[in-house]
Amino acid sequence: MASLSAQADYAAFEERRKRTVYIDNLSPQVTEPVVRTALNQFGNVKSVQFIPNFIESRNIPQCALVEMENTRQAEAVLSEISQFPFMISGMPRPVRARHAEVGMFGDKPSMPGRTIRCRWLDENNPNFKVAQKTKALIWKNAAESAFLQKQVLQEEEKLARQQDETLKSNYKKFDLIDGITTTDKTGPADKLAKHYNLKIALD
Amino acid sequence: MSHLRVKKVEDNMKFKWGRKKGVSRTDERIQFYESFTYEDVEYNVYDCAYIYCKGDTETSICKLVKMFETPTHVKRVRVVRFCRPIDTRDVLGNHNPQWNELFLASGQGVGCRDYINPLEVIVGKCSVVCTSKDERNPHASKTELKRADYFFYRTVDVEKCVISEKFNDQIAGIKVEYFFNKRKDPKLIGPSNLKRNIKMEAGRSVLSSKIGLVEKGGSAVNADKSGNGVSPVLLESKRAMTSMGENRCMSNENSTLRPKATINKDGTEPSQISFRQDQDKAKVRYSDSLLPTNESDTRPNKKRKLLLDSQKEVPKKGEDIDGKAGNASDKMVPELAGNRGAKTHAQFLEVTRRPDAWDLESYVLMLDGLQIHNMEDRSTWFKKLPWDQRLQTAEEMGTLVLLNNLDPSYTSLEVEDLVWNAFNRRVEAKMIQQGTFSHPHYGKALVIFKSKDAAEAAISKLQSECLILEDGRPVVGCKGTLTQQGEPAKFFGHLVLDVNKRQRQRDVKRNAISTSHSAQPNTIEYDFAMEWRHLQEWTDICWRLLFEGQAKEMQELRSQLKPTEINELT
């Protein structure tokens, strides 16, 4: 029988989970105070916890659990971030927000009343072959996930590069226009104005 | 005094060694023990106790780090001392310790290492909690603080005469973890330990009730002692007491000193007496608890302030600590701990012992070049560094194992229990917190084994056999490899233009680092952000498809499983 305190603990944890928002696509430079100030405008941030990345590639974005004061505030953060592209500590890649899930918490309590059972199967067991196949499938799945993750990172890099190009070429254009309309009477615009005897209206 | 002698003999009979721990490698006749019982009070290794040494004016408080019997049946105990504030007054400087604060003696020098005493010096049990904020120290709960006679969070280096809040990894050759509070691990609350604790408690209360009987002021002593506890109700009585304190102190000075004289007499023949009789003990203890009031003689005003301060501060600390400790300790599954305790009790001898004590004693014995006979594996002892550093070390030593296909809702403690049951190994485990790239159906956990062999054996066993969980999922394991640190992590999608080139702020605000904002729809930033959103959607769909496909495959395989009875192991 699950003890009352364990149940109460779990209920408290569920409450906490509901008012917690999972934020990802965070740059590695983002620190706790940055997230805190960024989300304080939607409510009161109670705690920020970065999910440590021990085994994945180092290049995956940071993600964090942000606990708000109540569920309403958490919902506000969620809707705000999904409606508008919200930038934290850099742009133009927006962050994303999701509901926090149980597995994301490092300090989750165990489910009350659950007993874990396990057993060893040896070769004679009728289920042994299936189990071995399952194990192979797990590795296969892990490899597939790793591959997809690589692809995603590549896509992201591609998009970032592409945008960088666009931004730079845009910038060149602006620079060019800047150059034409420089105000020191030597720019091309002034020369042309002189030539055609026109006046440039400067704002 | 003849009746006293008789009584001593009787006392002798009430002494009993506890479980044997091992023998010295150099001399097999030297027998180490991990506990002894005297008058229903059980003293375990790493308990704290009052000791009284011949020639001292006061009892001292010590940690018992080793207890053994020599070939000539002389019982000896090795201790590490705590210093009272009064002992450290020369080095105190600006520190203003509370009256019930102690300092752990560290460094090389008298009073710390190799302080071997005849066992008879032990006067009574003392409870000392560590309130250090050190990460390796499990926080003491409010009740523990309330119950404790003393607390400490600083060390005093007896050699350099420096007070410090830092704890070295080893103090007097003992891993510092054993000076901290004991870990409140659910595994430790086995039935045997529980019994032991209750016994201990009973012993303590007996002792304190004796104090009450022996001295008229006994009740005041109790009040005084609980004064370092938390109850705000006591505040009033405490105030009254401090005013009373001066009188009481005067009248008690004689009565407390007299028993000491007898102790001195006894102390001249330590090999003969085993324990002083109750009265003396009670009185020494009593005088001990009077210490603050004695001090108050010299500087009454300051003292009173100190007392009141300590009351205000201690509860605050207690709450603080309790909050944290509560997180860790309350969330354990009681059934699991209970079941396990019972089961392991039936099958394995090791389990009835506390795993932390086990580590410790093997460590201590190894330090001293002693041999343990029934040692299962010569484990590697990790310092209680932060988890990520411990992972690094474990990876280097090959003791790190990554378990996959666990239930994602398992807690780290449950994984530790699972490994304990499946491999009979005591490990440290932590579930991997799920993130964006984690598989929603596969829970992963990093497990640190005690040795490379144990880790490799576990991996190969997982490969050659199958460890099946209740719902039919097999657990797989591989060598744990951590993310390479070093070069800074790349992050795509945050564009920064060359700042020098920039003259005016146009569409893109470039200095937006460490700020946050929502993009406005009329900017290029917004367009870019939308592109990112598309990419994010696209990857989400990819992941979902992949996970769904994988789940389907898994389901197909699982349906082939024949329903068999699954042994309950946990």
Q: How far is CA A118 from CA B111, B136, B452, in A?
A: 51, 32, 24
Q: Which residue of A has its CA nearest to B478?
A: A139
The pLDDT assigned to A158 comes to 92
In this predicted structure, the answer to whether residue B240 has a pLDDT above a threshold of 50 is no
Decide: A92 and B528 in contact? Cβ < 8 Å. yes
Interface probe for B, chosen from A59, A77, A91 (most Cβ of B below 10 Å), is A91
Q: Give this prediction's pTM.
A: 0.51
Query: Angle at the Cα of A22 (from A17 to A25), degrees rounded to 5?
Result: 170
B121: nearest Cα among B56, B69, B72: B56
- Across the interface, which of A84, A92, A110 has its CB nearest the CB of B411? A110
Helix (H, G, I), strand (E, B) or coil at B448: strand
Whether residue A18 has pLDDT greater than 90:
yes
**How many CB atoms are closer than 10 A to CB B385?**
14
Q: What is the pLDDT of residue B565?
A: 46
B499 reaches A (C-beta below 8 A): no
Residues 527-546 of B with CB under 8 A from A: 528-533, 535-536, 538-539, 542-543, 546
B518 with A139: Cβ contact below 8 A: no
Assess whether pLDDT exceeds 50 at residue B359: no
- Output the pLDDT for position B498: 56
- Find the range with the poorest average confidence among A156-170, B7-21, B120-134, B213-227: B213-227
Cα nearest neighbour of B567 on chain A: A119
User: What single letter denotes the amino acid at residue B295?
Assistant: E
Average pLDDT over residues B502-513: 43
- Tell whether the model's pLDDT for residue B51 goes beyond 90: no
Q: What percent of chain A has pLDDT above 70? A: 95
**Residues of B with CB below 8 A from A126's CB?**
562, 564
Q: Is it the case that residue B6 has pLDDT exceeding 70? A: no
The more confident residue out of B431 and B487 is: B431
User: Is any Cβ of chain A less than 8 angstroms from the Cβ of B390?
Assistant: no
Q: Which B positions 464-483 lie with beta carbon below 8 A of chain A?
A: 465-470, 472-476, 480-483
* C-alpha distance from B392 to closest chain A C-alpha (Å): 10
Residue B362 has pLDDT above 60, yes or no: no
Cβ pair B414:A116 closer than 8 A? yes
Residue of A nearest to B532 (CA): A93
**Highest-confidence segment of A39-48, B266-275, B510-519:** A39-48
- Out of B336, B476, B492, name the one closest to residue A160 (CB): B492
Q: Which residues of A touch B404 (CB under 8 A)?
A: 138, 142
Contact B402, B444 (CB under 8 A): yes
Are the beta carbons of A118 and B524 separated by less than 8 Å? no
Would you call B483 and A104 a contact, using CB atoms and an 8 Å cutoff?
A: no
Check if B457 contacts A (Cβ < 8 Å).
no
CB-CB under 8 Å, A5 with B470: no
pLDDT greater than 50 at residue A143: yes
Q: What is the pLDDT of residue B115?
A: 62
pLDDT for res B297: 40
B409: tokens are 């809702």
Specify the pLDDT at position B384: 60
Rounded percentage of chain B residues whose pLDDT exceeds 90: 5
- Across A75-89, B171-185, B438-452, B498-512, least confident range: B498-512
Instruction: Kindly report the nearest CA distance between residue A55 and chain B, in angstroms.
Output: 5
Region A163-190 average pLDDT: 80
Lowest pLDDT segment from A11-25, A128-142, B357-371: B357-371
Q: Which uninterrupted H or E stretch holds B517? A: strand B516-518
Average pLDDT value for chain A: 86
Cβ atoms of B483 and B467 within 8 Å: the answer is: no
pLDDT at B544 over 80: yes
CB contacts < 8 A, A to B, total 323
Q: Which residue has the higher pLDDT, B441 or B534?
A: B534
The mean per-residue pLDDT over the stretch B438-457 comes to: 88
Percent of chain B clearing pLDDT 70 (strictly above): 54
Residue B505 has pLDDT above 50, yes or no: no
The complex's ipTM works out to 0.87
Task: Sort out which chain A residues have CB atoms less than 8 A from B553's CB and list them.
Answer: 137, 141
Q: What pLDDT shows up at residue B428?
A: 87
**CB contact B435 to A (< 8 Å):** yes
- Nearest of B70, B79, B535 to residue A25 by alpha carbon: B535
User: What's the pLDDT tens digit per position in B247-260?
Assistant: 444 444 443 333 33
Look up tokens 């800047």; give the residue. A178
CB contact under 8 A, B494 and A53: no
Task: Tell me which of B492, B507, B510 to substitute to probe the interface with A (most A C-beta atoms closer than 10 Å).
Answer: B492
For helices B334-347 and B412-423, give the axis angle rounded to 10 degrees. 20
Task: Work out the minimum CA distance from B383 to partner chain A, whole angstroms.
Answer: 20
Whole-number average pLDDT of chain B: 64
Give the range among A14-23, B13-22, B450-459 with minimum mean pLDDT.
B13-22
Average pLDDT over residues B381-393: 72
pLDDT at B564: 56
Among A26-40, B115-129, B299-313, B417-431, the minimum mean pLDDT is found in B299-313
| Average pLDDT of span A94-108 | 90
Compute the distance between CA of residue B546 and CA of residue B552 in angstroms, rounded to an integer: 10
Residues of A in contact with B540 (CB under 8 A): none
pLDDT band at A183 (very low <50, low <70, confident <90, very high): low
Query: Whole-angstrom Cα distance, residue A75 to residue A84?
Result: 14
B74 touches chain A (CB under 8 A): no
pLDDT of residue A56: 83
pLDDT for B338 equals 37
> Which among A84, A96, A113 is the nearest to B518, CB-wise?
A84
> Once rounded to an integer, what is the mean pLDDT over residues B411-425?
85
- The 10s digit of each residue's pLDDT in B297-322 is 444 444 444 444 444 444 444 344 44
Closest Cα of chain A to B95: distance in Å? 33
Residue A126 and residue A49 in contact, taking contact as beta carbons nearer than 8 Å: no
Tokens of B107: 């460094």
Q: What is the pLDDT of residue B148?
A: 80
CB–CB of B433 and A159 under 8 A? no
Sign of CA dihedral B158, B159, B161, B165: negative
Q: Which of B482, B374, B380, B363 is nearest to B428 (CA)?
A: B380
Per CB-CB distance under 8 Å, the chain B contacts of A116 are: 336, 410, 414, 417-418, 469-470, 570
B524 and A9 within 8 Å at the Cβ level: the answer is no
Residue B497 has pLDDT above 50, yes or no: yes
Of A2, A55, A126, the CB nearest to B483: A55
**Chain A interface includes B418 (CB < 8 A):** yes
Contacts of B70 (CB under 8 A, 6+ apart): B29, B30, B76
Candidate ranges B21-30, B131-140, B511-520, B523-532; pick with highest mean pLDDT: B523-532
**Residue B393, pLDDT above cutoff 80:** yes
Specify whether the CB–CB gap between B150 and B334 falls below 8 A.
no
Confidence at residue A185, expressed as pLDDT on a 0 to 100 scale: 66
pLDDT surpasses 70 at B453: yes
B547-560 per-position pLDDT tens digit: 999 999 888 888 88
With a cut of 80, say whether residue A144 has pLDDT above it: yes
Query: Which structure tokens are listed for B32?
Result: 């180490």
pLDDT classification of B233: cutoffs 50, 70, 90: very low
Look at B333 and A25 and tell me if their CB atoms are within 8 Å: no
Residue B231: φ, ψ to 5°: -50, 120
Residue linked to tokens 């006061």: B58
pLDDT at B457 over 80: yes
User: How far is residue B374 CA from its own chain's centroid?
Assistant: 25
Highest mean pLDDT among B276-285, B380-389, B494-503: B380-389
Look at residues B288, B317, B302 and name the one whose alpha carbon lies nearest to residue B224.
B288
CA distance A199 to chain B (A): 24
The predicted-structure confidence for B66-110, as pLDDT tens digits, reads as follows: 888 887 777 888 888 887 777 777 777 667 777 778 888 877 655
Q: Considering only residues B22 and B252, tell me which one the structure prediction assigns the higher pLDDT.
A: B22
